[in-house]
Amino acid sequence: MKLSVVIVSYNVRYYLQQCITSVLRATEEMDAEIWVVDNASTDGSVAYLKPLFPEVHFIENHDNVGFSRANNQAIRLCTGEYVLLLNPDTLVAEDTLPGCVSFMDSHPEVGGVGVRMLHSDGSFAPESRRGLPTPFVSFCKMCGLSKLFPKSRIFGRYYLRYLDPDQPNSIEVISGAFNMVRHAAFNQIGLLDEDFFMYGEDIDLSYRLLQGGWKNYYLPYDILHYKGESTIKSSYRYVHVFYNAMLIFFNKHYRHRYFYLGWAIQLAVIVRAFLDFCVQNYHLLRSRLNYPIQYTKPQYIRFDIDTTPVSKILQALRHQKNGHRRHLETISRKAGLIVRLDDVELLSQNT
């Protein structure tokens, strides 16, 4: 088996349906398998999808065991030379998986690759490639220096914005939304660290690949990541889980080297988490004080997902002019769905 695609899903059955369909198209000429691990969804994901995709391997968890543990369940069972960890709220262009596999075949020193991720309006997602969050890099990110000097090789290492997004580049951190890893590398360094329930496991995995002597690469092949810009980040749970993951990573990899900075790092993370929570909930405060927030309804560009190649859809999205970008809206008469960012509509007979 050349490629195993592992998708961990939780209550996103319609996005997952599109994702699987795009993966099947992209692997038509490949020896590939798909594993879906459902983390106790309550939307009937498995019952809905199993009859539609009999070739897909489904693992049903009775509890939400977290992202890392769920991925590990499938990694232990899959047989691919390469293992792709893929988010369910993605669309994969037809040339992306063959291109990544071909690159890794010809570069045996590469342990993992990530790709160019696009938001639903086609804009480039900066988390497509990142630097390791060392204490200095994290400081630049948390205090805003990386935003002030995004192209700086000193202050802008968190998102590596000084690299050309249209060129392959050696990077440090690969996003967990799309991370193709050599199975031999997993055998050497171990699977995902299950101390990370959600968030941070991609940074840890990328770091351990580098420690194991492997290289990580960014490749300019496209995927769309719906939720990359719409994940609800205003809840206490999100802030707690995200910044707790950052503390787990620091304590695991840097505490012994920066022992005397440990208290300062933890305080900085706590303060930044508090500030983020306040900023993200600013609109709630304004609404309670009767200061309405102006909301501009997104504009959409529609594509028939049944007949239009995903690569053509993503190319059209990516080449929109800044300031006039529309978000993706896909229609599938086969599935009876219209899918948008954070919105799924069942097709009526008149649509």
**Token digits of residue 298:** 């997104």
Taking the alpha carbons of 182, 185, 189, 190 in that order, is the dihedral positive or negative?
A: positive
Question: Does residue 55 sit within a domain?
Answer: yes
Place of tokens 């071909």: 102
Evaluate whether 346 touches 319 at the Cβ level (below 8 Å): no
pLDDT at 349: 59
- Residue 149 shares a structural domain with residue 193: yes
Hey, what amino acid is at 241?
V
Give a yes or no: residue 136 inside a domain: yes
How far, in Å, CA of 29 to CA of 32, rounded? 9
CATH number, residue 56: 3.90.550.10
pLDDT at 243: 60
Same domain, residue pair 69 and 111:
yes
- Quote the CA–CA distance of 268 and 138 in Å, as a whole number: 10
If asked whether residues 183 and 250 sit together in one domain, one would say: no
> Are residues 341 and 192 part of one domain?
no
DSSP structure class, residue 250: H
Per the structure, how many domains does the chain have? Answer: 3
Closest by CA to 84, choosing from 175, 180, 11, 10, is 180
Together in a domain, 204 and 251: no
**Would residue 335 count as lying in a domain?**
yes
Whether residue 243 is found in the same domain as residue 134:
no
pLDDT of residue 269: 59
Retrieve residue 187's tokens.
């055998």
d(CA 247, CA 138): 11
Q: Are 117 and 218 in contact (CB under 8 A)?
A: no
pLDDT at residue 178, as a whole number: 98
Which strand (E) or helix (H) includes residue 204? helix 201-211
Residue with tokens 């065991």: 65
Q: Please state, in angstroms and rounded to a whole number, the distance separating the CA atoms of residues 224 and 328.
A: 9
How confident is the chain (351 residues) per 10-residue block, as mean pLDDT? Answer: 97 96 97 97 96 97 95 98 97 98 98 97 96 83 85 92 96 96 98 86 94 98 78 50 66 62 60 62 58 70 97 97 94 94 80 59
Containing domain of residue 313, as a range? 300-346
Q: Are residues 64 and 125 in the same domain?
A: yes
Are both 313 and 274 inside the same structural domain?
no
Whether 203 and 275 map to the same domain: the answer is no
Of 69, 106, 100, the closest CA to residue 82 belongs to 100
User: Phi/psi at 19 (nearest 5 deg)?
Assistant: -60, -50
